[in-house]
Structure formats: structure tokens, C-alpha cells
């Protein structure tokens, strides 16, 4: 039986040149399935607010919601490393709140690590949380919680100045003690340069093939999210069509009196 993955296993994968697979997950049955497939890292992302709760962006997601979804995923007892997202306003106001909210995701949620967005601007926060022995996955580039500053979900790091800032952000989160960093929505050459320079693993999403690992949102790869369809998303299944067919047949059988038959009834 394979053992539970730790941040050390994930870092070793970079050292040994093995790519790291990461998917988002927010519930027990999905966690069971993806863990059975051998996913390396499960990210309980604040994207739950968009793909599950139907919000326009991730900003309304609360700490209680993140704890709830993290606990649901942990009930599947996954072998994968479970990382839980710190939602907007759970770490930006002060270090004490950041530390206690990171602690809730570990203590109440059961996560083994937490993720937060930002580079140089959150280095002190990363250090403060790492100092209480909670591993941090950093997240730079297109950071969805900064949607209003970015003016929408736009590729980041395109000009020289922005690229320099992203390099500085990558160096800052590594120096602050993050065990890895998500690179979202940045040009592939910049992602390659950051990946080559850092000793911690880079996990790309819309950052090209040269990162140490890749992450996507589970609803996107299953064809369950119609709201946004960014260029970097690859649809591996059309679950919407499968669900539409099953629900339509159920309705038709109930209306036609075919369901339930004797085989689905008690004598």
C-alpha cells in the first residue's frame, strides 16, 4: 500500500524530474475517485466559490466554507497531499489573523498545507505561517483574488517590468519558506526561467509545459463549468452531457410510470 504523500515527496519529485499532478477537489466522492487514480496533490481551491457555489469570482468565499470543503475531502482519507486555499481577507489584514486562519485549515479542516496568493507583498505572511510549521504553497502571476487590480483575468508578466516583478515575487516566496509555488497565467518562457531558477517546485496553470507540475480545476477538465473557458483548459470528459442524459431519462421514466419498477421496490 502506498503511503501518504508529504511536502518532502513533492519536493523530491522536482529533484528527480518527475512531473507533479495536481487537481482541485471540494467533496468526498470526487476525492475518493481522484485519489484512487493516483493524483499527487489535491487542492481544495477557493475556485469552489465559482464552480460549485456559482459566484462571479472567488472573493465571497469564507473561511468556514473552506474548512467545510477541506473536511469533506479529508474524509476520503486521501494518500495525496491535501493543500487548502486561504480565501480572500483571511490573511491580508494582519499576521495574527493569517496565522490563526491557516491554523484552522490544518486543525479543523485536516489540510497538510495551505495556499495563499501574492509574492513580495505577502513574504512576511508566508514567513509567519511557515514559522508555526504550516507548509505554504505560494501562488503568483494571475492571482484571482486580485481580479479588480488586474482589471479581469489577464495574462501577467508580459512586458519586461512585469516579468522582472514576477521573478522577484518567485524569489521572495522561496526565500520566505514556501515549499512550492503555483504559477498562473504567465508566458511559458517566463515560467521556464522561474522553474529553472527556483529550488522549490513550480505548479503551472496556464503557464506552459516547463513547470515542475500542473494544476487544473476538476470541473473544467470534466466539462462541468461553462462560465469561463480559458485557452489553457483541456476538457478530458463531457460529464455535462452524461448528466443531462441521465437526468432526462429519469424524468421521462417517472412521468411515464416506468420507474420505479418491481425490481426497485420492496415486497
The residue from 25, 39, 41, 45 that contacts ligand KIV (CB under 6 A) is 45
Tell me how far, at minimum, the Cβ of 253 lies from ligand KIV, in Å: 37
Nearest to 23 by CA among 37, 6, 43, 7: 43
- Residue listed under C-alpha cell 488586474: 150
Binding-residue total with ligand KIV (CB under 6 A):
12
| Closer by beta carbon to ligand KIV, 106 or else 217 | 217
Our finding on whether 205 is near ligand KIV (CB under 6 A) is yes
- Asked if 120 is an active-site residue, the reply is no
Q: Is the dihedral of CA 66, 114, 219, 81 positive or negative?
A: negative
With vertex at residue 254, the alpha carbon angle to CA 251 and CA 260, rounded to the nearest 5 degrees, is 130
The one catalytic residue in 184, 197, 253, 262 is: 184
Q: Does the footprint of ligand KIV cover residue 220 (CB under 6 A)?
A: no
Which residue's CB atom is positioned nearest to ligand KIV? 45
Q: Which residues pair with 84 in a beta bridge?
A: 44, 114
Q: How far is the CB of 261 from ligand KIV (least distance, A)?
A: 42
Q: How far is the CB of 218 from ligand KIV (least distance, A)?
A: 9
**Cα gap 125→130, rounded to integer Å:** 9
Indicate which single residue of 13, 123, 215, 225 sits in contact with ligand KIV (rule: CB under 6 A). 215
Q: Is the C-alpha dihedral spanning 217, 221, 227, 233 positive or negative?
A: positive
Please count the helices (runs of H) and the strands (runs of E) in the chain. 11, 8
What 3-state DSSP class applies to 16? Answer: coil
- Burial of 217: CB neighbours in 10 Å, binned 0-12, 13-18, 19+: buried
One of 21, 30, 47, 84 touching ligand KIV (CB under 6 A): 47
Residues in 70-109 at the binding interface with ligand KIV, rule: CB under 6 A: 85
Choice from 24, 70, 101, 195 touching ligand KIV (CB under 6 A)? 24
Question: Residues 56, 74: contact at Cβ < 8 Å?
Answer: no
Asked if 46 is part of the footprint of ligand KIV (rule: CB under 6 A), the reply reads yes
Nearest residue to 130 (alpha-carbon basis) of 113, 149, 142: 113
Smallest separation, CB 61 to ligand KIV (Å): 9
Shortest Å, Cβ 266 to ligand KIV? 44
- The β-bridge partners of 216 are 23
**Least distance (Å) from ligand KIV to the CB of residue 255?**
39
Cell 490573511, located at residue:
91
Q: Which stretch binds ligand KIV (CB under 6 A): 38-46, 105-113, 149-157, 166-174?
A: 38-46
Beta-bridged to residue 135, according to DSSP, are none
Q: Measured from the CB atom, is 43 or 126 closer to ligand KIV?
A: 43
Question: Quick one: which segment of 42-50, 89-97, 98-106, 257-265 binds ligand KIV (CB under 6 A)?
Answer: 42-50
Q: Applying CB under 6 A, which residues contact ligand KIV?
A: 24, 43, 45-47, 85, 139, 182, 184, 205, 215, 217
Give me the active site residues, please.
184
Amino acid at each position: 500500500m502506498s503511503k501518504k504523500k508529504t511536502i518532502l515527496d513533492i519536493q523530491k519529485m522536482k529533484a528527480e524530474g518527475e512531473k507533479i499532478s495536481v487537481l482541485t477537489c471540494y467533496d468526498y466522492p470526487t476525492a475518493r475517485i481522484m485519489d484512487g487514480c493516483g493524483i499527487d496533490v489535491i487542492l481544495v481551491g477557493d475556485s469552489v466559490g465559482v464552480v460549485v457555489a456559482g459566484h462571479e469570482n472567488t472573493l465571497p468565499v469564507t473561511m468556514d466554507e473552506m474548512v467545510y470543503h477541506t473536511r469533506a475531502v479529508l474524509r476520503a482519507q486521501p494518500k495525496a497531499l491535501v493543500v487548502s486555499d486561504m480565501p480572500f481577507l483571511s490573511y491580508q489584514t494582519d499576521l495574527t489573523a493569517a496565522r490563526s486562519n491557516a491554523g484552522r485549515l490544518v486543525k479543523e479542516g485536516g489540510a497538510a498545507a495551505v495556499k495563499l496568493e501574492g509574492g513580495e507583498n505577502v513574504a512576511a505572511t508566508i514567513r509567519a505561517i511557515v514559522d508555526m510549521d504550516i507548509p505554504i504553497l505560494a501562488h503568483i502571476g494571475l492571482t484571482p483574488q486580485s481580479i479588480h487590480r488586474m482589471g479581469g483575468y489577464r495574462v501577467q508578466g508580459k512586458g519586461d517590468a512585469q516579468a522582472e516583478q514576477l521573478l522577484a515575487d518567485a524569489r521572495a516566496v522561496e526565500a520566505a519558506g514556501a515549499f512550492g509555488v503555483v504559477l498562473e497565467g504567465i508566458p511559458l518562457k517566463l515560467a521556464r526561467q522561474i522553474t529553472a531558477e527556483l529550488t522549490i517546485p513550480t505548479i503551472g496553470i496556464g503557464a506552459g509545459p516547463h513547470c515542475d507540475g500542473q494544476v487544473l480545476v476538476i470541473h473544467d477538465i470534466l466539462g462541468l463549468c461553462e462560465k469561463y473557458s480559458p485557452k489553457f483548459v483541456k476538457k478530458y470528459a463531457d460529464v455535462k452531457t452524461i448528466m443531462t442524459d441521465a437526468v432526462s431519462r429519469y424524468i421521462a421514466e417517472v412521468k411515464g410510470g416506468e420507474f420505479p419498477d418491481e425490481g426497485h421496490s420492496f415486497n
